[in-house]
C-alpha cells in the first residue's frame, strides 16, 4: 500500500474543479483546497477528508482513495438547497467526465459513491458532501 499518490490525486481533483466551466458559472473561483481564514460568502466548494486503503495485488502496487468534496453555502444565501445541489451536480460531472492526470501513479478509475445533503451553520446554511472513490495503480512489482 502506498500513500504516495494522495498528493497527486488531490492536486488533480483541485485542478479539474478549477478548470470546469459549468462549475465556475455556479461558484466562480470559490473552490478551495484549504479554506481561507475568513469564511467565504456564497456557494463554494471545498476538498475534504480522504481515506486510503491498499489495493495492490501480485502484479503491482495500488491504492483505493475515498475522498469527500463538499459544496457549502453560508447563512447569507437565500436560495435554499437549489444552488448547492446544482453546484454538487457540476462537481460530479467534472470529476466523472474529466480525465485526471496524476504526477504519481495512474488513475485506473474514479467513481461517485454517495452524497449527503443537510443544513449547516445552525440550520441557515446548506451543505452537500459527496464521496468519490479513486483507484490508483502505482506500478509493476519487480521480482
**pLDDT band at 34; cut points 50, 70, 90:** confident
Which of 50, 29, 48, 24 has its CA nearest to residue 40?
29
pTM for the whole thing? 0.90
Q: Which pLDDT score is estimated for 85? A: 96
Q: What angle do CA 133, 137, 141 make, to 5 degrees?
A: 150
The CA distances from residue 71 to 37, 43, 57, in Å, are 18, 7, 35
* Distance, CA of 9 to CA of 59 (rounded, Å): 22
Q: What is the pLDDT of residue 75?
A: 67
Q: What is the pLDDT of residues 42-76, one digit of tens each?
A: 899 999 999 999 888 777 888 999 999 999 997 67
C-alpha cell at 86: 446544482
Contact of 128 with 117, CB cutoff 8 Å = yes
User: Where does the pLDDT of residue 35 fall: very low under 50, low under 70, confident under 90, or very high at 90 and above?
Assistant: confident
The domain 5-140 having CATH identifier 3.40.1710.10: the answer here is no
Amino acid at each position: 500500500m502506498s500513500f504516495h499518490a494522495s498528493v497527486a490525486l488531490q492536486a488533480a481533483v483541485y485542478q479539474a474543479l478549477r478548470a470546469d466551466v459549468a462549475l465556475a458559472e455556479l461558484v466562480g473561483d470559490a473552490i478551495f483546497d484549504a479554506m481561507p481564514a475568513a469564511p467565504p460568502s456564497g456557494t463554494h466548494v471545498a476538498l475534504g477528508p480522504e481515506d486510503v486503503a491498499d489495493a495492490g495485488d501480485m502484479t503491482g502496487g495500488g491504492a483505493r482513495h475515498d475522498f469527500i468534496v463538499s459544496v457549502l453555502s453560508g447563512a447569507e444565501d437565500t436560495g435554499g438547497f437549489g444552488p448547492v445541489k446544482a453546484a454538487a451536480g457540476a462537481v460530479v460531472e467534472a470529476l466523472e467526465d474529466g480525465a485526471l492526470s496524476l504526477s504519481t501513479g495512474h488513475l485506473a478509475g474514479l467513481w461517485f459513491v454517495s452524497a449527503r445533503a443537510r443544513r449547516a451553520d445552525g440550520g441557515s446554511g446548506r451543505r452537500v458532501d459527496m464521496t468519490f472513490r479513486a483507484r490508483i495503480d502505482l506500478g509493476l512489482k519487480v521480482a
